[in-house]
Chain A
Amino acid sequence: MMNKMKILLNGKSIELTDVQTVSQLLDSLDMKAGRVAVELNREIIRKESYESQAIQDGDEIEVLQFVGGGSR
């Protein structure tokens, strides 16, 4: 049986299929764990918890990365 849920990812509503953890979400997005930071409902999720941290329907998730920028 397919497991579907809706989450808010970086401000956009998306539907996930068979994704249950942060780790699986990053894999599905083709994101490497060490290259991004993840917030789940405004709380930072540590890298060590990506595999165990469950995602639920209605969660708000932010995935952030370093970009060019400095003292402009």
Chain B
Amino acid sequence: MTQESGAIQEIQDKPLQIGDITLHSRLIVGTGKYKSFEETEQALAASGTEMVTVALRRVDFDAGDNLLNHIDTKKYIILPNTAGCYNADDAIRVSRLGREIGNSNLVKLEVLGDPDTLLPNPMETLKALKVLVKDGFTVMTYTNDDPVMAKVLEEEGSTVVMPAGAPIGSGQGILNPNNIRIILERAKVPIIVDAGVGTASDVTRAFELGCEAVLLNTGIAGAKDAVHMAIAMKHAAIAGRQAFLSGRIPKKLYANASSPALDF
């Protein structure tokens, strides 16, 4: 039973496939809210992520610098998003503009309902998805944790479906794990928890439920020490994923002794 030499390794995980993209890290990290480009670079590196999401805005010609000067596009896959869009037309426009810069068909579609809740608008999201799929995009769609909507998005060609754990930036974790479980049980496409992650255990929880990846931003960028929180998130993802692959014990109402029930 003793281990002669070399520690037992983690379970070899298969990479996550999104369209023609292969990811080994299962964390996707946003690039907003960092104190500086330098901190952004450090936190991304510390998280071990291979895919980073970026928003699109008018150039401020007085500012001079460009985020892409600080993100190594050989190291990270750029996932343009439609953050800030409140209707399908804007989201389609932003997706197409992002394609021009990113040279890829990848887009994170998010169409929000209102600025107070930042919850998705399902009708406009669906409308945009249909157009983008026809247009050849690989769409990663942000949605509520609604099992019916998740299925509809899958059927309409969303490459992955990304339910919110909790409202964007709220840091409340996964508020309705039952819904996430139902989404997971019925899904044929990868399910990625997007939004609401506050701390490392939230990430772990998402993977324990069976999610294929987690997308987060504020949980890292808003932490007092963003770079070390990024490291914590990396380990949380590994822990949760390994626990999921290892198969947890079922929950029981009564105790179950771990010592053998033998005579003394």
- A interface residues (Cβ-Cβ under 8 A, vs B): 10-11, 29, 31, 34-39, 44, 46-47, 62-72
Contact = CB atoms under 8 A, between A and B. Distances in A.
B97 A64 contact: yes
Interface of B: 29-34, 40, 52-59, 61, 66-68, 78, 80-81, 83-84, 96-98, 100-102, 110, 118, 142, 168-169, 194-195, 215-218
A64 B55 CA distance: 10
A39 B59 CA distance: 12
Contacts of B83: 69-70, 72
A37 to B, nearest CB: 4
Given A35-B66, A71-B195, A72-B30, A66 B54 contact: yes
Contacts of A36: 59, 101
Given A66-B56, A68-B54, A71-B194, A39 B97 contact: yes
Given A66-B56, A72-B83, A46 B34 contact: no
10 contacts: A11-B58, A29-B61, A35-B101, A64-B101, A66-B55, A66-B56, A66-B80, A67-B31, A70-B83, A71-B30
B32 A63 contact: no
Nearest to B97: A37
A67 B118 CA distance: 19
B215 A70 contact: yes
5 nearest CB pairs, A to B: A70-B30, A69-B55, A70-B217, A69-B32, A37-B100
Nearest to A9: B61
A70 B55 CA distance: 7
Contacts of B215: 70-71
Nearest to A45: B100
B42 to A, nearest CB: 14
Contacts of B80: 66
Nearest to B56: A64
B102 to A, nearest CB: 8
A68 B100 contact: no
Given A37-B97, A37-B98, A37-B100, A68 B40 contact: yes
A66 B68 contact: yes
Contacts of B55: 66-70
Nearest to A14: B61
B53 A69 contact: yes
A65 B80 CA distance: 10
Given A70-B31, A70-B53, A72-B32, A63 B101 contact: no
Contacts of B59: 10, 29, 31, 36, 63-65
B113 to A, nearest CB: 15
Contact of B169 (A34, A62, A72): A72
Given A65-B101, A68-B55, A72-B168, 15 more contacts: A35-B66, A36-B101, A62-B58, A63-B58, A65-B68, A66-B66, A66-B67, A67-B57, A68-B40, A69-B81, A70-B29, A70-B32, A70-B55, A70-B215, A71-B195
B67 A72 contact: no
